Amino acid sequence: MDHTNHVRLTAAEINSATLAGVTVYGLDDANLGAISHVHGAGRESEVIVDVGGFLGIGTKPVALRASQLDLMRDEDGEVHAVTAFTEDQLKQMPEHHEPDGGTPWPAS
């Protein structure tokens, strides 16, 4: 996928409303997972990515900083993310657990 003409998201756009459900790709354009939700807003927010699994079953949530993702909008206005991490590296990360032990919704 050529990202040359894709527009990077502004800090104000980095939030759960914009990013929930967004596909995360590797540098080789492999689909690595999807953003579940975001804690906080802006470039220092914590982005939770569901990695692995099939059709949402067996996924592992991992936490990344927004700065570890290249968040952008394509020519059709669709938002997506690219990371330098591989699927194996993401799967080796600790599983994310919500601070209160509950679910993330409503998203912060």
Q: What is the pLDDT of residue 40?
A: 92
Please check the confidence at residue 104 and state whether its pLDDT lies above 80. Answer: no
Sketch the domain layout of the chain as residue ranges.
7-92
Say whether domain 7-92 belongs to CATH 2.30.30.240.
Answer: yes
Span 55-82, pLDDT tens digits: 667 889 999 999 999 999 999 999 999 9
Q: Residue 18 is encoded by which pair of tokens?
A: 């914009």
- pTM for the whole thing? 0.86
Among residues of the chain, what percentage have pLDDT more than 70? 90
